[in-house]
Amino acid sequence: MSVGALDTALTGLKMAQQQLNVISNNIANVSTPGYTRKILPQSARAVNGEYVGVSPDILTRNVNISLQRDFWTQISSSSFYNSQIKYLSQIQQFNGGPDSGISFAAIISDLRDSFSQLSDDPSNGFLQETTVRQAQSAANKINEFSDFITKLRNDAQDEMANQIEKVNDLLEQISTLNGQIRGSKNVNRSVAALEDQRDMAIQDLSELIEISSFRRGDDVMVVQTKKGVQLADESATYLSFVPTPVGPAAYYPASASGIYVGGQPTTNPAAIEITTSGIGGSIEGLLDLRDNIFPQYIAQMDELAQKMALRFESQGLRLFTDSSGAVPPDTDPDTTTTTPVPYVGFSSEITVNIDIINDPTLLQKGTATGIDIPVQSGSNEVIRRILDFTFGTEEYVEALGTVAIPSAPTTLQTAFGLLSENTITTAQDLSQYTVDLNAAPGQPFGSTPPLSDDFNIRLFDTRLAQDTGLVNIDLTTAATTRPIGSPGINNAADQLATYINDVFAALPLPAGINATASVNSYGQVKIETNASIEIEGGSMGDAGLEFIGLEAGTYDTTDPYFDVQIGIDNPVRITIDPDDTDIDLLDKLNYINSIPNDTGVPNLFAEIVPPTNVLRLRPGDDLGGSFGGDLKLVGGKIETTGNVPILEALFGSANPVSNISNPPFRYQNLGPGVNIETNIISGTDIIDYAQKIINRQADDILVREASMEDEDAFKSTLERQFLDESAVNIEEELSNMIVVQTAFSAAAKAISAIDKMFDELITSIR
């Protein structure tokens, strides 16, 4: 019994020593990264059904695996934002603070101010050169920013390539540790230290990509992507990434490299692509920068550069061009054929037109082709259009009708009742005479027959080849056929007007000519016609004409007209002659450079728009190119029927002029892959849009900083929980040490008591 007790006490003593070793090791590694608390389990030792002491089990770890996996996932989430902020903060530094004045939006605003100063003295050579230099500064700033984004995009890809190499190194390390763990497990050795090393490798891996994992029965940790693609068990399956430089026209998957598991598809058809599977971690953050964020920023800058160049071009000043001297057209993208807009990458090459650099006076003259109108030395018309329209929200002002314009040979006067007008009125109140004019007091006609009391009227229109010839108006005949006192004839004015109408009615009048006589409220006789009028004295001569209030001579018609004014040019009067058709109207409106002494409206383009055949006027040139500007229409003649204003007759509205907005900034289907949205939908003028780009990019940084702060806070919470449960706690270890020390002391006392019993036994035998 005593020998058995001694052996039992010795096992307890040995167990206590081993426990003290474990506790000491825990305390020593309390600050070691990745070290978890180790536990040495013990079991009672039994022989033939009787307990004969205690024996140690295999050293194990105290790890909350579920909490550990959550912690790894959160590391990936935090690393995603951290990798992006590092790059996005550089963009904020490039643009500077709101008051720094170094952003591309500030430089474009300075360009507008430079044009504003030039408008006060448009012929000033110094101001012209200053404006050209400011335009170069704007183009250079856009170039620099676009190139900077492209550089950051390539830097992100390079870092991604380096991190993928680190991923492969970690996968190799994890697979090696898995093999060692499996081997140690097979020979019943502790794998706690190896598991700590493996967990550290997996934690490092989680910073780079987000993983999922499970532990097999042999304690091998199978590591996968979060979508379940296996990366490591006892062997590693490496990531493959073969980067190539990316420019503005490069995009995934057409021309930017993808990430594969198991090699490249060109050499391993079984390779699995994980580029768009949500890799997670910092690699996902860098991939998002390369394929989404930075391409979006370049698309924003391309949109700004193209619309800025286009808006200058539309006002007749090609200030900005590409390297070939052209302005990329505003052609719509085609998502069905992946055909992008034609200005992808334009922001990296936009430059000032070399013609303007060589000749700054073009800032005042303009560069529009098809217009060859001399520019006065003090004119600021082009510059004014730049300020009002290029830097504004409207491109030009347009008059668009809603009424169909008939085609030739129908004349416009006939179609719309817009007849020419001609009116002559006697200068005398003839209603004061209640006797015949040739018997009125003071008449100069004589007192015995034949009286000298007739004059002649001629109605004619050479454009229509119509002419009544001289028509005689005889006062004696008027007195005989229309005596005063007969119905409707109350005085000499009624008598003369009625008689003239009788004469006109008896002609008959030539086709296209009408004429009527009437008495106005002042007792004057008024003759109205759409033809020219010739008054000839006849037998009464000038004295007789003067008595009745007329004067010999020719009185031309007033044709229907309206005035057209482009910008600050002088208004041009457009008349509609009796034989004018739609073709004649367009000829009068359009200024054709090839026709000497053209009477059209300079800087105006007019057309009849099919299929409705309505009339449209807009600032532009005879080739149909609109270059912006404002337009004013003033009607000067009304219809004879219904008193409808001429503008309303021709356009369907008395005020047909409306503002036409500049081509809007596109916000979707951009970039080389026709799949990018700018996320800027409220930009109006170019300075506003430029500032919104900067604001949007600043918001991207703020959102990610806020997200990273939240993710880091959650990661810290999980880390604290994990450490509380799985890491070494000094106080707990000291408490355990006291327990073990007590057990050790008890075992030692048991051995001492047994030793005393043996001494007494030996003494008694002696």
Q: Which of 503, 537, 555 is the endpoint of a domain? A: 555
- pLDDT for 401 beyond 90: yes
- Is 350 among the domain residues? no
Highest mean pLDDT out of 62-71, 161-170, 369-378, 575-584: 161-170
Query: Strand pairing of 631-635 and 351-352?
Result: unpaired
Residue 437: band (very low, low, confident or very high) from pLDDT cuts 50, 70, 90: very high
Do 445 and 581 belong to one domain? no
What's the pLDDT at 510?
85
CA 525/CA 1 separation, integer angstroms: 159
Residue 459 CB coordination number (10 Å): 25
Do 583 and 474 belong to one domain? no
What are the distances in angstroms from CA 224 to CA 64, 80, 261?
Answer: 20, 18, 11
Do 406 and 548 belong to one domain? no
CA 655/CA 290 separation, integer angstroms: 53
pLDDT in tens, 583-595: 999 999 988 766 7
- pLDDT for 186 beyond 70: yes
State residue 649 phi and psi, 5-degree precision.
Answer: -65, -45
Question: 3-state DSSP call for residue 569?
Answer: coil
What's the pLDDT at 745?
65
H helix and E strand count, the chain: 18, 26
- Is 173 among the domain residues? yes
Do 490 and 628 belong to one domain? no
Question: Is the bond preceding 41 in cis, omega lying within 30 degrees of 0?
Answer: no
- Is 308 among the domain residues? no
Residue 95: band (very low, low, confident or very high) from pLDDT cuts 50, 70, 90: confident
Q: Which residue has the tokens 């033939």?
A: 48
- Lowest-confidence segment of 53-62, 314-323, 524-533 by average pLDDT: 53-62
- Is 602 among the domain residues? yes
- pLDDT for 90 beyond 50: yes
CA 342/CA 331 separation, integer angstroms: 7
pLDDT in tens, 505-562: 998 888 878 899 999 999 999 999 999 999 999 999 999 999 999 999 999 999 999 9
Do 615 and 750 belong to one domain? no
- pLDDT for 760 beyond 70: no
Q: Are 458 and 399 in contact (CB under 8 A)?
A: no
Q: How does 9-26 read in b/e, with b if 16+ C-beta sit within 10 Å?
A: bebbbbbbeebbebbebb
- pLDDT for 40 beyond 90: no
Residue 678: band (very low, low, confident or very high) from pLDDT cuts 50, 70, 90: very high
Residue 641: band (very low, low, confident or very high) from pLDDT cuts 50, 70, 90: low
What's the pLDDT at 16?
67
Query: Strand pairing of 525-529 and 532-536?
Result: unpaired
What's the pLDDT at 703?
95
Do 162 and 286 belong to one domain? yes
- Is 258 among the domain residues? yes
DSSP line for 599-647: -SBTTEEEEEETTTTEEEEEE--TTS----B-EEEEE--B-SSTT-BHH
Higher pLDDT, 376 or 501: 501
Q: Mean per-residue pLDDT for 196-209?
A: 94
- Backbone conformation region of residue 377, classed left if phi is above 0, alpha if psi is from -120 to 50, else beta: alpha
The fraction of the chain above a pLDDT of 90, given in percent, is 66
Do 606 and 591 belong to one domain? yes
The total number of structural domains that make up the chain: 4
Distance in Å from the first CA to the final CA of the chain: 21
What are the distances in angstroms from CA 531 to CA 319, 549, 641?
Answer: 52, 21, 17
- Is 340 among the domain residues? no
CA 417/CA 646 separation, integer angstroms: 10
Q: Which of 555, 571, 587 is the endpoint of a domain? A: 555
Whole-model pTM?
0.80
What's the pLDDT at 619?
83
- pLDDT for 374 beyond 60: no
**Residue 219: domain span:** 66-295+687-715
Residue 628: band (very low, low, confident or very high) from pLDDT cuts 50, 70, 90: low
Question: 3-state DSSP call for residue 423?
Answer: strand
Do 605 and 693 belong to one domain? no
Q: Mean per-residue pLDDT for 374-381?
A: 68
Q: Mean per-residue pLDDT for 609-627?
A: 79
- Is 325 among the domain residues? no
What's the pLDDT at 45?
62
Q: Are 557 and 422 in contact (CB under 8 A)?
A: yes
- pLDDT for 372 beyond 60: no
- pLDDT for 683 beyond 60: yes
Using a CB cutoff of 8 Å and minimum separation of 24, what contacts does 19-22 make?
19/736, 19/740, 19/743, 20/737, 20/740, 20/741, 20/744, 22/59
pLDDT in tens, 456-484: 999 999 888 899 999 999 999 999 999 99
Q: Are 617 and 399 in contact (CB under 8 A)?
A: yes
Q: Mean per-residue pLDDT for 145-162?
A: 97
Beta-sheet strands, E only, within 93-142: none
Residue 693: band (very low, low, confident or very high) from pLDDT cuts 50, 70, 90: very high
Q: What is the CA radius of gyration of the chain?
A: 50
Name the helix (H) or strand (E) containing 272: strand 272-273
Query: Residue 649 has which token pair?
Result: 């007759």
Do 207 and 276 belong to one domain? yes
282 Cα distance to chain centroid:
30
Which amino acid, residue 648?
E
| Angle between helical axes of 281-288 and 125-186 (0-180°, round to 10) | 160
Do 622 and 521 belong to one domain? no
State residue 130 phi and psi, 5-degree precision.
Answer: -60, -40
Q: Which of 538, 555, 572 is the endpoint of a domain? A: 555
Do 175 and 199 belong to one domain? yes
Could you tell me which of 380, 467, 393, 475 has the C-alpha nearest to residue 435? 475
Q: How does 681-690 read in b/e, with b if 16+ C-beta sit within 10 Å?
A: eebebbbbbb
Do 93 and 221 belong to one domain? yes
CATH number at residue 533: 3.30.70
Q: Which residue has the tokens 């967990």?
A: 199
What's the pLDDT at 1?
44
When the pLDDT of each residue in the chain is averaged and rounded to a whole number, the result is 88
- Is 24 among the domain residues? yes
State residue 652 phi and psi, 5-degree precision.
Answer: 85, 0
